[in-house]
Amino acid sequence: MSIELRHLRCFLAIARERSLTRAAATLPLTQPAVSRTLAALERHLGVRLVDRSTHHLELTPEGRAFRDKAAAAVAAFDDAIDPARLHRRPLRLGHAWSAFGPYTTPLLRRWQREHPDTPLELLRIDDRTAGLARGEVDAAVLRGPVDTPGLATQLLFTEPRVAALPSDAPLAARPALTLADLSPEPIVVNTVSGTTAPGLWHSHSRPATVLTVANTDDWLTAIAAGRGAGVSAASTASMHPHPGVIYRPLTDAPPVPVHLAWRAAAPHPAVGALVALARELSERG
């Protein structure tokens, strides 16, 4: 059999909804048709994409890898046949939080002035690659190490880390902190797109309690509510101020690398210009 675009769209609906029934409703197809399409795709690929043994449907490791490739393929197809984009294709730039930090506004203004025929769309996507691996964007600002296959990267700058504390926490009265100062506190960790994990601390001083969240908004809310402290890059303090959160420098935490990333195969024609502008602004400081 040959795989068609409908197979990919069906699988992406399953991956998104985590349910054959809900996926069928969004397509719309019958549930048996969705099951047959998934089975045909798995037979063609020779792997199981979905684990149905648990109470909730989950993707297998092969399914997660294929989801990213399928999403990129569908996005490329939709982009190619959209007549509105043929002569004025925007450059979609993803980020999970804080974008280019202090360089965000200068970059957007310069781009609009120097590249008026290529709109730059800044999109926040809570994902490890800010939607890049799934084909939702053409380039992305990524913090931390980048090890996703198929991506090209340019290191732009590094950011110091800061501690994020409830505004009424005793530690908030100090001008600066160390990682050891935070060890007794519960630590709020964004496991989807954040750059902090218990491994940031030495093994003998790791926090005893870790609270996980899935995005920056929930991270800020948890800290403001007094459920714990957090660690982030310095630009978070300026890009995400919160009345219930105080940011303090961390004097002994390693800096966070900030990369511009894009798909190495068939990049958007304007990616080179974006890399050049981002480098110019970050090097100028």
pLDDT in tens, 146-177: 988 889 999 999 999 999 999 999 999 999 99
CB of 261 closer than 8 Å to CB of 140: yes
Query: Is the pLDDT assigned to residue 86 strictly greater than 50?
Result: no
The CATH T-level fold of domain 161-254 is: D-Maltodextrin-Binding Protein; domain 2 (3.40.190)
* 112-127 pLDDT, tens digit each: 999 998 999 999 998 8
Between CA 144 and CA 128 the distance in angstroms is: 10
Nearest to 50 by CA among 2, 6, 13: 13
Between CA 226 and CA 122 the distance in angstroms is: 32
Q: Could you give the angle at which helices 5-17 and 31-45 cross, rounded to 10 degrees? A: 110
Quickly list H helices, 115-152.
none
Q: In the beta sheet, which residues pair with residue 50?
A: 59
- Name the pTM for this structure: 0.74
Say how many C-beta atoms besides its own lie within 10 A of residue 34's C-beta: 25
Examine domains 83-158+257-284 and 161-254 and report if their fold is the same.
Answer: yes
Residue 15: both structure tokens together? 């991956």
* 9-46 pLDDT, tens digit each: 999 889 888 889 888 988 888 999 999 999 999 999 99
The CATH T-level fold of domain 83-158+257-284 is: D-Maltodextrin-Binding Protein; domain 2 (3.40.190)
- CATH class of this structure's domain 5-80: mainly alpha
pLDDT in the model for residue 80 = 72
The residue ranges of every structural domain in the chain are: 5-80, 83-158+257-284, 161-254
SS3 233: strand
**80 backbone dihedrals φ, ψ, rounded to 5°:** -70, -35
**254 backbone dihedrals φ, ψ, rounded to 5°:** -65, 150
Among the ranges 65-74, 174-183, 188-197, which has the highest mean pLDDT value? Answer: 174-183
